Chain A
């Protein structure tokens, strides 16, 4: 199947959105969507074309208890953030579900980003200790900058900041890539040294530091999030 062929891709995207794509093909195509922006665009176009078919469906009120369940689930989501202790029993039930939709979440997040015209050169999905993806970091080829997207990072104190590190595959000391504020910094410009280090690969890590960043040049606080660096193509 030649996905470089726009007509073929458009057909697959329409099959996917209409829902007629067979199960295994659908699974494969979902994986493709996680990395291929042209395919995501094609899917978005078909969703935009067809979505209003649902305008014909008479609305159906869901039972009231569903909102209560959602609220309870949200409370549980708030629980396991850093610095809070929650009873494990309440939380474990949600882990499997969270993990399942984390995978889909990634697909969606990538699906939604349309600013980039180019595939990322590197990408890393940083997870917390529970393996919940929390940040996506990627670098565009030639852009000399990292883009950071947060799902729902833990809340940290006003006088603290997240700091992003590269732990080089070579085993050298971690290299600071920059400060992420409260998780709300979307982009970091990279120094030549940082770029060179990224080329070598390794693991990205986010530590919690006093505002202004690590005073020592090495991570000093907790390191709640880590993720391997993947080179794209």
Chain B
């Protein structure tokens, strides 16, 4: 399992040296996670597909800037993906978000051990975060997930949950502060 995580790092090193074969393998191993992250924020498939292409073009050009000390390869990849998706969503507004089931985004934390390959890619990060998320109130937990995973604004979270915007803001603020303390970093 650890091999998978190591390999993503190795692959990024090879991609930085313009290794197309390594890039293909990196794509094969990570695109399904990246695509899922994009689709959650951009339910319109055409936008998510375009964003996926942008993300991997950026990965190709910027692999040399990846620093293992700054996070796991998936942290790097999904951060690029989320930034791209958020920029598109904020630019297009409602167009970007046609109605789609919210069930996935709000689903309870998956048992990361249930998919060994995936669990290995996120490593202890996922376990530790899940433990800390479980320590939040339901409202804090749900607000943070809707914002992070769906790219919802404060007011979108408020509408979804049916709470005043000010209340949502304070749930998120306190939830993040608690997470930071819990994660101890």
Contacts and interface: CB of A to CB of B under 8 A. Distances in A.
A138 to B, nearest CB: 14
* Among B79, B128, B153, B154: residue with most chain A CB under 10 A: B79
Interface in A55-87: 55-63, 66-67, 69-70, 73-74, 77
Interface stretch (B1-9, B55-63, B94-102): B55-63
Given A55-B122, A62-B35, A20 B40 contact: no
Interface in A78-116: 97, 101, 104-105, 108-109, 111-114
A111 to B, nearest CB: 8
A61 B35 contact: yes
Nearest to A26: B90
Nearest to A51: B75
Given A51-B125, A109-B62, A20 B153 contact: yes
* Among B90, B104, B149, B176: residue with most chain A CB under 10 A: B176
A20 to B, nearest CB: 5
A17 B119 CA distance: 23
A47 to B, nearest CB: 5
A17 B52 CA distance: 19
A59 B27 contact: no
* Among A19, A23, A58: residue with most chain B CB under 10 A: A19
Contacts of A53: 129, 133, 144-145, 148-149
Contacts of B27: 67, 70
* Among A20, A108, A151: residue with most chain B CB under 10 A: A20
A14 interface: yes
Interface residues of B, number: 73
Contact of B74 (A51, A101, A111): A51
A168 to B, nearest CB: 31
Given A56-B109, A74-B20, A114 B35 contact: no
- A-side interface size class: 35 or more
B58 A49 contact: no
A52 interface: yes
Given A18-B144, A50-B129, A113-B65, A44 B149 contact: no
B147 A51 contact: no
B21 to A, nearest CB: 12
Contact of A59 (B61, B62, B82, B118): B118
14 contacts: A20-B172, A48-B185, A49-B185, A51-B72, A51-B79, A53-B129, A54-B78, A57-B40, A73-B53, A77-B57, A105-B61, A108-B58, A109-B65, A151-B62
Interface of B: 18, 20, 23-24, 27, 31-33, 35-37, 39-41, 49, 52-54, 56-58, 60-62, 65-67, 69-72, 74-75, 78-80, 82-83, 86, 90-91, 104-105, 107, 109-110, 112, 118-119, 122, 125-126, 128-130, 133, 144-145, 147-149, 151-154, 157, 172-173, 176, 179-180, 183, 185
Given A51-B71, A53-B129, A56-B145, 19 more contacts: A19-B153, A26-B86, A47-B75, A48-B75, A49-B183, A52-B126, A53-B145, A54-B74, A55-B125, A57-B33, A57-B37, A58-B110, A59-B35, A63-B49, A66-B49, A70-B27, A77-B57, A113-B65, A114-B69
Q: Which 9 A-B pairs have the closest CB atoms?
A: A59-B32, A51-B75, A55-B126, A112-B65, A52-B125, A60-B36, A52-B126, A62-B35, A55-B122
